[in-house]
Structure 1
């Protein structure tokens, strides 16, 4: 029988405190999410105030209206970004700013209230009607009986966002409360009424029916008849771009079939998207890169910085009358100071990492993607004095606007590919070469992935065919057969 043994071991290990764990999560957030978190803290913490709404009369005499860095306690626990403080050249949320900054917000700041009779900017935006609202407005102009109007409106409310009718007509007939009950024949008539409305193709049961409903938009009768034959009988070949197979099946010239297929592709397979406001996800850049006097400079985008500061008057009153019964207020004051420190060091770290990236990728800013150098997270981490995981969090969901466009910070990192000449080339540069090759190819004789790999090899870049395929798919470029045109 095994004997039981008790031992005591002393071991040291590093662990993150809950406060630092929260700071790491905040560092990984996008600027819009971070601004939302700060706005929530601002709403519940009495020691924080919005600089745009802060009242000067609450500040004690002789106290300057400082920015975010004010009120940071000297004994606060340091963030894991020790080298970040020197990178922030501009004060975050400087006071006394112009009123126009309320128009430059990111959507998370509170709107201007119409207390003085003025309307806010959001209230002045035009509201675009949804698909159902647009269809109901057209139905109200039709001379229909009350029974038919009820059936038509039932079908309209059953459409999905794409404008398709996914529910069977017999099931919808059972849901309508009419006396006598609605029949499938009546639902068919109501469906024809809806399909005659704008946009064309609405209330279709599948893609083929949606395209057939839009065929009357084709003016040429011969083209319309050929398009109807393709959509009705050869929809799969149309989807796979098998032009040669379609030409054989229809006994028509390849060029004519190719022209008709191109006309069909200009039809809208999702007519419901034409109505209603589209949900556009806007990207707000965190840093702005400009060339000033021959040198590339990096500056923080002031539109993403939360305009928040410590209410010095409340903090001084609390320190003057502090007692043991005010434990909740003490926690609020500590949270306010830690929030301000998070704001300051977060954006200082972003600027620090962005500056290091720009110093290493100046050729990209000058000449484009083909001049991108290989870059790893460890190189930036060693240069700025941060941990590699911290750099990874900083580059996640952070964006940089350059003369070449807006890019995520992760875009500038790529694995090095060694050329036969011994030089290293980044995957981003190779993707740029592949994109240029395909852009310059002949539509009648496009380049296959194997041919692209051979052309890259002749330029001294040995890239496998499967790597070319992967890069082409990342660029969202179709395969060679789908890019081929016929004379």
Structure 2
């Protein structure tokens, strides 16, 4: 056997420690950045760090909007597109998506199945429901698996089952009925006590929720052939269940939010500026560096020079982080100027790619900048991701954002007569008369996202089921 030596030319991408640090700092929230800098300053005597004495805090009446929608994409083998590491660990407070991600990691499934389950998790709404049809999801994925011998319909259905097996119970439900049934089945698996009552609760949750809301027991008694006491007992069990599985993950402490950006109207033009309260108070101790340089030996100087170099890298990366956030924020403000002037009904469709192309940035960079970064304006405090939304067609061929449509639906319901609530079909007709081609099922989807009860429930005085 002979030994051969060959030379080969190849290209590979290598991230320098400075660039790795810049990427890491960019994705941190302001509070997480402050904690990170405090730790680094303890290890580097040349850095002076002062924790913000008075945090900027918003009135509790301000509204914070956030999004759990996943921006990750699929390639044929089911992995990410390379812009982020697979299942990149989110920093800061635990969100619903990161909570599910940790469980998905430990599922006894293939990497493809885990990725697909995580993909579905990224489509959950703010209540933890999967509203989008499995057929539409499979269709969206089909283009990325052209030629692959995979039954996407079956794989998506199987992944939904995996998602619904996770905690909190009821996650991944298709609607309220499904959410309750998933929780009841979990309880039946864990405990057979009151089995008959729980089974009756499944039947009621599946077919009679509207009568429960109306407190109309006669149709339920007739259909289930049970006594009123049994029906009431089952309803009591249903009422003990969680209608909103994602609720624990939306309880953000508003006083702990430090807006990274402030938006102001300057001479009729909306401009963004960095919030001074969010800027880290980090500086280089030049006096200490001079003393060390004058009194330490060569070996000590080598270690000191390394610390000095690291300190300068850090300060440069923090400054670059601030510049990037401000660039992205100003571009968002420029694209969504009508939102700041006229409100949510004027929100225009916007995607990450559009901002990335305008600023000559990578889409993953824009994603990092807009995650856990907040903007404060006269309408409240919003996560930067709030300003990105899908588009829907209008009669004249133009488009309108889904956020604007939701605002229109909210306005229509707010102005309806209490004794004559407007049906979803009627809302769709009203929107069409205003030039918006919105299907009834889309109206239903957005109404539920807004936690607006059905027509019959509103007629009986139920204003919200959040």
Deviation, structure 1 residue 5: 10
Q: Out of 308-317 and 376-385, give the one that drifted further.
A: 376-385
TM alignment of 1:37-76, pairs within 5 A: 37-50=36-49
In structure 1, the residue matched to 2:53 is: 102
* Mapping of residues 171-210 of structure 1, within 5 Å: none
**Aligned ranges 1:134-213 → 2 under 5 Å:** none
Aligned to 2:213: 242
CA shift digits 1:112-147 (9 cap, x unpaired): xxxxxxxxxxxxxxxxxxxxxxxxxxxxxxxxxxxx
Give the whole-Å Cα distance in 1 for the aligned partners of 2:45 and 2:7: 48
Deviations 1:379-417 (A, max 9, x none): 222222322211111011111111111111111111222
Which position in structure 1 is the counterpart of 2:354? 379
Structure 1 residues 327, 105: closer, same or farther in 2, change over 3 A?
farther
- Give the match for residue 296 of structure 1: 270
For residues 319-330 of structure 1, the aligned pairs below 5 Å read 319-320=293-294, 321=296, 323-330=298-305
- In structure 1, C-alpha distance between the alignment counterparts of 2:372 and 2:18, rounded to whole Å: 22
Q: How does 1:77-476 map to 2 (within 5 A)?
A: 102-104=53-55, 241-243=212-214, 245-246=216-217, 280-281=253-254, 282-320=256-294, 321=296, 323-476=298-451
Change (3 A) 1:452 1:312: same
Taking a change above 3 Å as real, the CA distance of residues 21 and 469 of structure 1, as seen in their structure-2 partners, is farther
- Contact kept in structure 1, 2:55 and 2:258, CA below 8 Å: no
Change in 2 beyond 3 A, CA 1:469/1:308 = same
Structure 1 or 2, whichever has the larger Rg, is: 1
Q: Secondary structure at the match of 1:401?
A: strand
CA distance in 2, matches of 1:30, 1:104: 14
Q: Deviations over 1:36-69 (max 9, x none)?
A: 10111122210011368xxxxxxxxxxxxxxxxx
The match for 2:15 is 16
Within 1, Cα distance between the matches of 2:404 and 2:329? 20
Deviation, structure 1 residue 17: 2.6
- Give the conservation status (yes or no) of the 8 Å contact 1:350–1:394: yes
Q: Quick one: distance in 2 between partners of 1:322 and 1:359?
A: 55
Mapped partners of 2:315, 2:297: distance in 1: 22
CA distance in 1 between counterparts of 2:358 and 2:293 reads 41
**1:423-462 per-position Cα deviation (integer Å, ceiling 9, x unaligned):** 1211111111111111122322323333322322222211
Q: Is the 8 A contact 2:47 2:283 kept in 1?
A: yes
Unpaired runs of at least 5, structure 1: 53-100, 107-234, 251-267, 271-277
8 Å CA contact retained: 1:441, 1:447: yes
Distance 2:397 2:279 in 1: 44
Aligned length: 290
The 1:340/1:422 distance shift into structure 2, 3 A limit, reads same
1:139 maps to which residue? none
Superposed displacement of residue 105, structure 1: 6.7
Contact 1:51 1:309 in 2 (8 A): no
* Partner Cα separation in structure 1 for residue 54 and residue 461 of structure 2: 52
The answer as to whether partners of 2:293 and 2:301 remain within 8 angstroms in 1 is: no
Q: Distance in 1 between matches of 2:48 and 2:290?
A: 15
CA distance, structure 2, for counterparts of residue 22 and residue 399 of structure 1: 22
Distance 2:396 2:252 in 1: 48
Contact in 2 for aligned 1:299/1:351 (Cα 8 Å): yes
Q: How high is the TM-score relative to the length of structure 2?
A: 0.55
- Counterpart secondary structure, 1:245: coil
Distance change >3 Å, CA 293–CA 449, structure 1 → 2: same
Cα 1:41/1:246, change in 2 over 3 Å: same
Contact 2:211 2:219 in 1 (8 A): no
Deviation of the 1:335 alpha carbon: 2.2
* 3-state SS in 2 of match to 1:242: helix
**Is residue 259–residue 373 contact of structure 2 (8 Å, CA) maintained in 1?**
yes
CA distance in 1, matches of 2:428, 2:38: 52
Change (3 A) 1:322 1:348: farther
Distance 1:284 1:103, change over 3 A: closer
2:404 and 2:252 mapped to 1: Cα distance?
A: 32
Structure-1-length-normalised TM-score: 0.53
Determine helix, strand or coil for the equivalent of 2:365: helix
Superposed CA offset, 1:318-339 (max 9, x none): 4445623444433322221122
